[in-house]
């Protein structure tokens, strides 16, 4: 008998435009001791399906229009609020996508961990604390006894996610729902979290419902895969059947979007456009005499027309290096030459003239785009600031940029919040290209996107790079993405460059253990391609 059986689930929302069906006739099962993965892009209905059966869809505007969700022989959809609360956290637990927004910033992690034990099992605080410390150690938290009193902001993203896993497992549930638990993490941390979930699932013999937009992520851990598109299940089966014999066009599209290939080596000039020599960017915290050496004695060259991939984990200094080259971060020491001109000594108007030739695409377009400016105003600002055009021919230039980034011209009167994540990133790319720069720093431009949208943005950047003759520093923590787009790769670790070479050399014969660790973190379906 299945641990969880969902049959013909239907969920809708009441909107200004009438009733919108979010989940239509969805059925799947989760077996005890197995992992079922639900895969689909944002908006496919995968998270809504799980939230609905746990009573986490606000009503109104949400409505469960039909179906059953049988858990231990009881239909979750018909339980009272009190009965459902007793099931949540005790028999069914959930790991959410962003632990920072789910953990209470005013409570220590220890207080939050013992809360379910106090509510559901009436344990004393002493016993609950002992159990919490034991579980923190089990999920890989260092020094759990002292960590018990720490607050969420004192943890890294990966450590916060481990705390969330401990919190989900504290009451020994029979079913664990993991909603995109690795999306915001570095590939090495992602691999650790995936391995941890798989180990705990086997050790505790629980069922896991794993939600993700990335087929590659679940390839090594799932026992069965359910693919959802536009609220419906379009395909399901064992991982091997899905990866080797996908039947539905949507599944085939998801598989095709996984970055597995290596960029074809084009004719890249050996003429350096950017030369960085012994660059240091150190920060001095007010409460410490020791500097944070974000960039420490880094030297590299970027040739004209080249895409240089800069890879490393969060905190390695790669984003700070990109900002330093563009003079967006304070430089402690060293030299940056752009086309033979020393940038570190430029100020005022002299620096402004080079701003036109160097641009940046930021990681989060929603944060970098002004929410009070329309797309038209966003694109017009750099064009007018750098005297690239006049108000008379401004419309023509903006229309060309919209065409280049693949957005409809009539979108120019919309605001950033009216676009999807992928569309916002296209706007950010258009803004960066408005000045027709020679050099662009792309700082993690696809890390927060669905794999299909990620593939579109990577293809767009490659096409525009050829059209505009761009030289690019592409920053990422994902080796598979870097392999797809870069001509040459440099690996950064703790502020220093530890390895450099062509994609073929880095992937086939890495010299440093850190590089090998990054490569091992790539999902097997990508690594083995």
- What is the mean pLDDT of the segment spanning 151-175? 84
3-state secondary structure of 233: strand
Amino acid 266: pLDDT = 56
Show the tokens assigned to 275: 């030369």
- Render the burial of 419-429: b for 16+ CB within 10 Å, e for the rest: bebbbbbbbbb
Amino acid 525: pLDDT = 60
- DSSP letter at 88 equals B
**Whether the predicted pLDDT of 223 surpasses 90:** yes
H runs (alpha helix) in 205-236: 215-218
Pairwise CA distance, residues 9 & 251, whole Å: 21
Amino acid 261: pLDDT = 62
Residue 141 has phi, psi (to 5 degrees) of: -85, 125
How does DSSP assign 96-117, residue by residue?
-S-HHHHS-TTS-HHHHHHHHH
Question: 182: number of CA atoms within 13 Å, CB side?
Answer: 25
Tell me how far CA of residue 45 lies from CA of 54, 79, 213, in angstroms. 15, 22, 11
Task: Write down the residue that tokens 């599944």 correspond to.
Answer: 251
Domain 1-91+173-257 class in CATH: alpha beta
Amino acid 118: pLDDT = 87
Show the tokens assigned to 451: 């794999």
- Residue-wise pLDDT for 232-246, tens only, equals 999 999 999 999 999
- What is the mean pLDDT of the segment spanning 326-354? 90
Amino acid 523: pLDDT = 74
Mean pLDDT for the chain? 88
- Residue-wise pLDDT for 94-138, tens only, equals 888 777 778 888 999 999 999 888 888 888 899 999 999 988 888
Pairwise CA distance, residues 110 & 97, whole Å: 20
Amino acid 198: pLDDT = 87
Minimum mean pLDDT range among 157-161, 390-394, 487-491: 157-161
Sheet holding 272-283, edge to edge: 292-303, 272-283, 333-338, 341-342
Cα end-to-end span (Å), the chain = 37
How does DSSP assign 123-181, residue by residue?
--HHHHHHHHHHHHHHTT-SSHHHHTT--GGGS-HHHHHHHHHHHHHTT--SEEEEEST
Amino acid 326: pLDDT = 93
Cβ neighbours, 10 Å, residue 101: 9
**Whether the predicted pLDDT of 484 surpasses 80:** yes
Amino acid 529: pLDDT = 53
pLDDT band at 520 (very low <50, low <70, confident <90, very high): confident
Of all residues in the chain, what percent carry a pLDDT higher than 90? Answer: 47
**Whether the predicted pLDDT of 159 surpasses 90:** no
**Whether the predicted pLDDT of 211 surpasses 90:** yes
Residue 493 neighbours by CB under 8 Å, 6+ apart: 312, 313, 316, 512, 514
Show the tokens assigned to 121: 């099992």
- What is the mean pLDDT of the segment spanning 5-13? 94
pLDDT band at 16 (very low <50, low <70, confident <90, very high): confident
- Residue-wise pLDDT for 395-441, tens only, equals 999 999 999 999 999 999 999 988 877 888 899 999 999 999 999 99
- Residue-wise pLDDT for 245-290, tens only, equals 999 999 999 988 887 666 665 566 788 999 999 999 998 876 667 8
CB-based burial label for 244 (10 Å; 0-12, 13-18, 19+): exposed
Minimum mean pLDDT range among 1-15, 279-293, 302-316: 279-293
pLDDT band at 215 (very low <50, low <70, confident <90, very high): confident
Rounded (10°) angle between helices 109-120 and 157-169: 10
Amino acid 111: pLDDT = 92
More confident residue, 142 or 57: 57
Domain boundaries defined on the chain: 1-91+173-257, 101-172
Rounded (10°) angle between helices 109-120 and 125-138: 120
Q: Which of 57-66, 153-162, 229-238, 255-264 has the highest mean pLDDT?
A: 229-238
More confident residue, 31 or 452: 31
Task: Write down the residue that tokens 């086939």 correspond to.
Answer: 508
């Amino acid at each position: 008998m299945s641990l969880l059986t969902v049959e013909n689930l239907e969920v809708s929302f009441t909107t200004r435009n009438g009733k919108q069906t979010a989940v239509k006739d969805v059925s799947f099962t989760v077996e005890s001791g197995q992992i079922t993965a639900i895969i689909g892009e944002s908006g496919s209905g995968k998270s809504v399906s799980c939230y609905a059966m746990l009573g986490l869809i606000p009503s109104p505007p949400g409505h469960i229009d039909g179906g059953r969700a049988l858990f231990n022989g009881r239909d979750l959809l018909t339980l009272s609020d009190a009965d459902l609360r007793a099931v949540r956290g005790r028999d069914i637990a959930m790991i959410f996508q962003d632990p920072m927004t789910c953990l209470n910033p005013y409570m220590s992690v220890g207080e939050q961990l013992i809360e379910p034990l106090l509510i559901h099992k009436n344990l004393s605080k002493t016993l609950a604390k002992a159990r919490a410390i034991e579980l923190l150690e089990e999920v890989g938290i260092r020094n759990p006894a002292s960590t018990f009193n720490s607050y969420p902001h004192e943890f890294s993203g990966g450590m916060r996610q481990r705390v969330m896993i401990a919190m989900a497992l504290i009451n020994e549930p029979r079913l664990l729902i993991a909603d995109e638990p690795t999306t915001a993490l570095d590939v090495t941390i992602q691999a650790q979290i995936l391995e941890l979930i798989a180990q705990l699932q086997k050790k505790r013999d629980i069922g896991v419902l794993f939600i993700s937009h990335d087929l590659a992520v679940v390839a090594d851990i799932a026992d069965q895969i359910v693919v959802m598109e536009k609220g419906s299940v379009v395909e399901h089966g064992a991982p091997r059947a899905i990866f080797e014999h996908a039947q539905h066009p949507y599944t085939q599209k998801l598989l095709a979007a996984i970055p597995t290939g290596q960029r074809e080596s084009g004719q890249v000039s050996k003429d350096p456009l950017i030369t960085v020599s012994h660059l240091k960017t150190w920060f001095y915290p007010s409460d410490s005499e020791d500097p944070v050496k974000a960039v420490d004695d880094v030297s590299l060259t970027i040739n004209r027309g080249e895409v240089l991939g800069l890879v490393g984990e969060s905190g390695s200094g790669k984003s700070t290096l990109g900002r330093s080259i563009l003079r967006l971060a304070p430089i402690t020491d060293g030299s940056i030459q752009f086309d033979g001109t020393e940038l570190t000594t430029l100020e005022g108007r002299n620096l402004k003239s080079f701003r036109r030739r160097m641009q940046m695409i930021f990681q989060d377009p929603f944060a970098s785009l002004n929410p009070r400016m329309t797309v038209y105003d966003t694109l017009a600002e750099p064009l007018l600031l750098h005297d690239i055009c006049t108000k008379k021919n401004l419309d023509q230039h903006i229309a060309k940029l919209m065409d280049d980034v693949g957005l409809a011209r009539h979108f120019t009167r919309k605001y950033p919040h009216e676009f999807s994540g992928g569309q916002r990133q296209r706007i950010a790319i258009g803004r960066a290209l408005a000045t027709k720069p020679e050099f662009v720093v792309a700082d993690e431009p696809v890390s927060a996107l669905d794999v299909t949208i990620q593939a579109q943005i990577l293809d767009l950047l490659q096409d525009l790079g050829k059209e505009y003759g761009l030289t690019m520093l592409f920053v990422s923590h994902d080796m598979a993405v870097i392999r797809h787009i870069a001509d040459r790769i440099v690996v950064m670790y703790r502020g220093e460059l530890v390895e450099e070479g062509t994609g073929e050399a880095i992937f086939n014969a890495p010299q440093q253990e850190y590089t090998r660790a990054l490569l091992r973190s790539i999902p097997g379906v990508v690594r083995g391609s």
